[in-house]
Amino acid sequence: MFALRTCHPLSNPDNVCELNPHLTGGPSGACYSGRFFIPVPVGLGEETLAGDINFSLSHNTVSLMAVQYRSHTTPTPDRNMFHPVHPLKLKYYIGPPASHATDSEQCTNSFFVSFPKAIAPKPTSLAAFPRRDIFTKCVRDPERAWNYYNITEFYSPFKTINQDAIAALLRPAQEASNPSAPALPPSLLGKGFMSQLSIETPCAPSNDLRIIKLGKISLIGLLKHRAAPITILQRLKLAQEIVPLSNFYFKIKLAPNCSDSDPSAN
């Protein structure tokens, strides 16, 4: 039996394996015997006011993977971090029609901030961002892969944005959503931060991008403890960029002067 599953929105044939650990991670081998990635975006239809079905709306474009279920769920001896994903050869479909998107929706240089559910800013507290030509949208998680976190995309088609600029703008936003909370430090302590380029670039021995897999997370299951993995990596100065790919898997960009062989990382 096969099923279509939704992938991380930045998935492509090169990074699909590492960005979707809920479908490709080692434990998934007990459920799936095969994984096949659709190598082009899929436009889902939406009925317009005119009664037509439009397949070109940018917010309805998704990445999909076909998974093949095992006939019986059994433990797998495979100890690899990820299972392989094969590109699905399409005979006719070549992708959605030309996208219908506004200027504020078209951007390829976004930054993603991951808020543990307990400290996520309210949407109303981000309402002032468009006046600074910075727009935000919540990254959809229909698979509930990272349901311990809210990931918000910050983007601007009009200017270059960076981590410091977002941190400066988030401080008043955080104060507005929770006046009793201390202001966010510039490091965004406890909040994961990663650029679009870092997320899309596959990990390799030749770069500073890595995947971290947690063990049991029952100790941090309580809402007030869900910032712990991100906070620990930041406190130990092991990572300068972090994003959760699921509740168990995190992608990080190593801190400057930190490497796999660095004794301080042991």
The listed range with the strongest mean pLDDT (54-68, 104-118, 240-254) is 240-254
pLDDT-derived band at 67 (thresholds 50, 70, 90) equals very high
Q: Are 120 and 158 contained in the same domain?
A: yes
Cα–Cα distances (Å) from 113 to 1, 12, 28, 147, 212, in that order, read: 37, 21, 27, 14, 18
Q: For residue 92, is it within any domain?
A: no
Tell me how far CA of residue 191 lies from CA of 41, 185, 219, in angstroms: 29, 10, 19
For residue 111, the cross-strand partners are 154, 195
Q: Are 233 and 194 in contact (CB under 8 A)?
A: no
75 versus 185: which is more confidently predicted?
75
Q: What range defines the domain where residue 253 resides?
A: 103-265
* SS3 letters across 50-64: CCCEECCEHHHEECE
- With cut-offs at 50, 70 and 90, classify the pLDDT of residue 104: low
Is residue 94 in some structural domain? no
Q: Is the pLDDT of residue 4 over 80?
A: yes
Q: Locate 143 and state its tokens.
A: 């698979």
* CA dist., res. 240 & res. 12, Å (int): 24
Higher-confidence position of 111 and 72: 111
Pick the residue with more confidence: 139 or 96?
139
The answer to the question of residue 159 being in a domain is yes
Q: Would you say the C-alpha torsion 94, 100, 105, 106 has a positive or negative sign?
A: positive
Are 181 and 57 part of one and the same domain?
no
What integer pLDDT is reported at residue 182 of this predicted model?
Answer: 46
130 and 243 in a single domain? The answer is: yes
pLDDT band at 57 (very low <50, low <70, confident <90, very high): confident
pLDDT over 80 at 83, yes or no = yes
Each residue's pLDDT tens digit, 141-187: 999 999 989 999 998 888 888 887 787 777 655 554 554 544 444 44
Q: Confidence band (pLDDT; 50, 70, 90) for 123?
A: confident
* In-domain check, residue 98: no
Please tell me what DSSP assigns to residue 25: B
* pLDDT for position 86: 95
Q: Tell me 264's DSSP state.
A: G
Q: Which of 60-74, 162-176, 220-234, 242-256 has the lowest mean pLDDT?
A: 162-176
**Sorting pLDDT into bands at 50, 70 and 90, what band is 264?**
low
Q: How confident is the model at residue 124 (pLDDT cuts 50, 70, 90)?
A: confident
Whether residues 54 and 154 share a domain: the answer is no
Pair 210, 236 in one domain:
yes
| Domain count across the chain | 2
Residues 240 and 201 in one domain: yes
Whether residue 95 lies inside any domain: the answer is no
Q: Are residues 142 and 243 in the same domain?
A: yes
Is 93 within the bounds of a domain?
Answer: no
